Structure 1
Amino acid sequence: MATIVITDIAWPSPAIESDLAHASGHEILLADSDEHLLTLAPQADAILTCFRRVPAEVLDAAPRCVTVARYGVGVDNIDVDHATELGILVSNVPEFCTEEVADHTLALTLATLRNLVPASDATRSGGWTPAAAYPSRRLRGLVFGVVGFGATGRAVAERAAAFGLEVVVSSRALAADPGSAPPSVTRVVGRDELLRLADVVSLHVPLNAETRHLVGADELAMMKDGALLINVGRGGLVETEALRAELERGRLRVALDVTDPEPLPADHWLRSSPAAIITPHVAFASDGSLIELATKATSNALAVLAGRRPASIINPEVLTSDLLRITPQ
């Protein structure tokens, strides 16, 4: 019997994980804090993680661990380099929530440009003040900029085009082969040009050393007056403090499903900014996506424990390492 340690979950219970693990003769342990995770690490044959960090300290404390499986796409909360050094396979669940994240992106766009939050708040407080929704903007003809053009960027572009928005994209892959752009894309441009052109800038790139603070003070200064910045990727893509002056001046607006830090402290200035809509990292979530996520992430861990390859391997170089702790076939 192997032990699978779950660092954290963003849903009510690990029922799906438990059922799958028990069917394979394994047990599940759920950590409730960073300290508890460190305590459980020596028992872990596999680690499942959602948002909690899995740093080198945890990996070093887990000599039996053969795999770390991420609930999600990005693996920036896992010390992948150190896992590779230790011979630990890291997996993820790519594209499980493409539709949900794309839908959420357009929902944030509509809520902001149509001023739905202040209009709803005014009505809830007993008023009936149409002016609370002003000035809302006509979507057709606005320029929607998509930074990054993976599966989610493509899905967002399709939705934006359907609303009559002119979609411009900054993407290395499309820049190298502009003819591969789908009909939803009007133009492929450089990042700086996109920032200057777009009425809406939406970020869809992974967080890594190259993309951290992709949007900082200089990039915000390039954006048009009245533009909207959307981030449903990772909080670290945007330099949070650089936003403050632009939002307080009323020059820009933001719609964020992710923040840096995350979660924001209860008294953080961004929480009370009238120029911001913030949702608590839920763009990925739906009834269908959460079932898919829990099932696929757990299946990845179980596959490695059974000596098989997981569906997705983040660090395939570990397969040829002399330190590989288990050799999946």
Structure 2
Amino acid sequence: MSSLLVSLPDSVLREAVGDLPAGVEVVEWALDGPAPRPRFDLVVTPYMGKTDRLAHLAGVETGLVQSQSIGFDGVDQVLPAGHVFANAASVHETSTAELTLALILASQRGIPDFVRAADAGAWAPAHHPSLADRTVLLLGYGGVGRAVESRLLAFETTVIRVASTARSDERGVVYGFDALHELLPLADIVVVGVPLTAETTHLVDDTFLARMQDGSLLVNIARGPVADTHALLAHATSGRIRLALDVTDPEPLPAGHPLFALPNVLISPHVGGASSAMLPRMARLVREQVERMLRGETPLNVVLTS
């Protein structure tokens, strides 16, 4: 292919992408209205919360629709027929793993309690559980799960991996979902990082939480509906388990929601990928997709063909 027409959603990503090979034309389009051209070789979508804009691709010919997110739940319901859709694997794994460790460490070492005490002008030393020597169950073992595992191992933890499909790799066994019932009571910390599907919606329910140890920590970095909010609230309100949530259902969590008031619940506002690492990695992925198209090669990260 000797020439390409690419749409990018904003000037920030355009500047980060920088110079592209000769013959590549770039148009800024945030999918916020009718397409400015009848055909694009590559369309990069806006980041976060704008899945409904994919409907504007109806009647537009594309070679590839490139998301800026890893998750693509709901895309198949909106993406018009005739399009190939790729996710942003390789862009967010590092940042999401960093936030996961931050949530775990803050929860384990009582950082929110210290911050609240400091806000009140109080010196409040306390003894809290370590991360070292804890058993952590990773529920979901894709790119994010592997990135979290690599960081957890440096903290001298024991890691149990669980995914939709059981398998083995160089680090041992990856258990299937069917083993969860037996594995949950073994974990001090459970990290949920599965994609949102019909199978995983409300996977974390009352039965799931009841299998967790008293005093254990549940960390959700997946999607809010993977967990049943009523069950989370009931188990956290009792004080039996602790929560660290980067995602909630509903999202955003409404002002005054009872989860906000619980001292054993730490909430971040869906910012797993929102760090300085995102933009250069997204720009690198865009450049790689462009170069692959120019060479006539298959694009990376294709997850849907409508």
TM-score band (shorter)? 0.7 to 0.9
**Cross-structure match for 1:290:** 279
**Distance in 2 of aligned mates of 1:18 and 1:116:** 38
How far 1:201 moved relative to its partner? 0.3
SS for the counterpart of 2:137 is strand
- Equivalence for 2:7: 4
Q: Partner letter of residue 196 of structure 2? A: L
1:129 and 2:132 aligned: no
Is residue 201 of structure 1 aligned with residue 190 of structure 2?
A: yes
Say if 2:43 is the partner of 1:52. no
- The verdict on how the C-alpha distance between 1:77 and 1:307 changes in structure 2, with shifts beyond 3 A counting, is farther
Assess, with a 3 A threshold, how the Cα gap between structure 1 residues 42 and 161 changes in structure 2: closer, same or farther. closer
Q: Which residue in 1 is equivalent to 2:150?
A: 158
Q: What are the Cα deviations for residues 228-248 of structure 1, in whole angstroms up to 9, with x where unaligned?
A: 000112222111222111111
Give the C-alpha shift of residue 30 in structure 1: 3.6
Partner of residue 59 from structure 2, selected from 29, 38, 63: 63
Cα drift, residue 154 of structure 1: 2.3
Residue deviations 1:26-60 (CA, integer Å, cap 9, x gap): 321346xxxxx3xx1344653513212434x8526
Which residue pairs with 1:276 in the alignment? Answer: 265
Aligned partners of 1:87, 1:99: CA distance in 2, in Å?
32
Change (3 A) 1:280 1:209: same
Which amino acid letter does the alignment assign opposite residue 144 of structure 1?
Answer: V
Q: In structure 2, which of residues 58, 63, 81 is the aligned counterpart of residue 86 of structure 1?
A: 81
Q: Which has the higher strand share?
A: 2
The answer on 1:96 being equivalent to 2:91 is: yes
Matched-pair contact (CA < 8 Å) for 1:41–1:59: no
- Relative to structure 1, the CA distance from residue 307 to residue 48 in structure 2 (aligned partners, 3 Å threshold; closer, same or farther) is farther
Change (3 A) 1:158 1:64: closer
Asked if the contact 1:21–1:27 (Cα under 8 Å) also holds between the matched residues in 2, the reply is no
Aligned-partner SS, 1:193: helix
Unmatched segments (≥5 aa) in structure 2: none
- Which residue in 2 is equivalent to 1:248? 237
SS at match of 2:150: helix
Aligned residue in 1 for 2:15: 16
| Rounded Cα–Cα distance in structure 1 between residues aligned with 2:16 and 2:288 | 9
**In 1, distance between residues paired with 2:30 and 2:46?**
10
Contact 1:169–1:194 at 8 Å: present in 2 too?
A: no
Q: Cα 1:249–1:231, aligned 2, differ >3 Å: closer, same or farther? A: same
* Counterpart residue type for residue 245 of structure 1: A
Unaligned runs of 5+ in 1: 32-36, 319-329
What's the C-alpha RMSD, in Å, of the aligned pairs? 3.2
Q: Do the aligned partners of residues 210 and 70 (structure 1) sit closer, same or farther apart at CA in structure 2, a change above 3 Å counting?
A: same
TM-score where L is the length of structure 2: 0.82
Higher helix share: 1
In structure 2, how many angstroms separate the alpha carbons of the residues matched to 1:111 and 1:307? 47
The percent identity for this pair of structures is: 31
